[in-house]
Amino acid sequence: MQALVDRIQKDGNILNGDVLKVDAFITHQVDPVLMEEIAESFYQAFKEAGITKVVTIEASGIVPAVYTAQKFGVPMIYARKSKSLTMNEELLTTEVYSFTKQVTSTVSISRKFLSKEDKVLIIDDFLANGQAAKGLIELCRQADASVEGIGILIEKSFQPGRKLLEEIGVKVVSLARISSLENGKIAFIEGDA
Ligand code: G4P
C-alpha cells in the first residue's frame, strides 16, 4: 500500500536499531484518513472470505481493526490483556510473550463472542515475532472459529513472525513490508496489497 509506505518514510522514526516509531499516525496520534485507506485495502484483500468477525489485541491493533470491521459490516473484538471487572463469563485464554517488551500477558476474549460459525480476520499494527497473532489464532481455535487471514499494517520482514504464521498455514496480508532498519534507513520490499 503505497500511501502507508510513503507515510512511514515521511513520519516514521527508527529507535534502537530495530524498532520503528509510528506514533505520529498509528500507535498514539492516529490519522483517520490513512486508517480508512488501510481498512479498504484489507476489505479488498479479504472480501470473498465471508468474514463475520474482526479480531485484534489491545492496544494499538484496535484502531485499524475497528475501521476494518466497519468496512465488512461486522463486529470487532479485541483480546484483553487484563481482566475487566465485568468479564465474568467463560473466557478463551492464552499467554502471549512480547519479545519487544519482554513481558508475558494473559490475553482473553469472552467465549460468547466467538463460535464455530465465525470466519475471523485478525488485524494488528505490527508483525515482528508473531506471538500476538499466534495467540489470537489460539483463541479462535479454542472457539472452533476459522481464521481466514491476518491483516498487518507493518511487517518487519527481517524478524521471524511472517514465517511462523505461514507455517501455521494462515494467509498473511501485510500492507507495508520492511526488509531492514539498518544504518538509519527504512528499506521496503513489495507489500501484499
Ligand atoms: P509480535 O507483535 O509480532 O508478537 O512481536 P513482538 O513480541 O516483538 O512485539 C511485541 C509488541 O511490540 C507488540 O505490541 C508489537 O506491536 C510491538 N512492536 C514490535 N515491533 C515494533 C516496532 O518496530 N515498532 C512499534 N511501535 N511497536 C513494535 P503489544 O505489546 O502487543 O502492545 P501495544 O503496544 O499494541 O499495546
| pLDDT (tens digit per residue) in 155-191 | 999 999 999 999 999 999 999 999 999 999 999 999 9
Q: How far apart are CA 169 and CA 164, in angstroms?
A: 9
User: Is 132 touching ligand 1 by the criterion CB < 6 Å?
Assistant: yes
Q: Which set of grid coordinates corresponds to residue 85?
A: 471487572
- Tell me the pLDDT band of 85, cut-offs 50, 70 and 90: low
Question: Domain holding 82: CATH number?
Answer: 3.40.50.2020
Split into its structural domains, the chain has a count of: 1
Return the closest-CA partner of residue 181 out of 160, 147, 153, 158: 158
Of 11, 28, 98, best ligand 1 pocket probe by most atoms within 8 Å of the beta carbon: 98
Distance 126 CA to ligand 1 centre (A): 6
Q: How far is the CA of 59 from the centre of ligand 1 (A)?
A: 10
Calculate mean pLDDT across residues 100-122: 94
Q: Which atom of ligand 1 is nearest to the CA of 131?
A: 4
18 pLDDT above the threshold of 80: yes
187 CA to centre of ligand 1 in angstroms: 19
What's the domain range around 44?
2-189
Kindly state if the Cβ of 155 falls inside 6 Å of ligand 1. no
131 labeled part of a ligand binding site: yes
Query: 41 C-alpha to center of ligand 1: Å?
Result: 22
Contacts of 64 (CB under 8 A, 6+ apart): 26, 35, 38, 39, 42, 56, 123, 124, 125, 151, 153
Per-residue pLDDT for 36 more than 90?
Answer: yes
Q: Over the stretch 59-71, which tens digit does the pLDDT of each residue have? A: 999 999 999 999 9
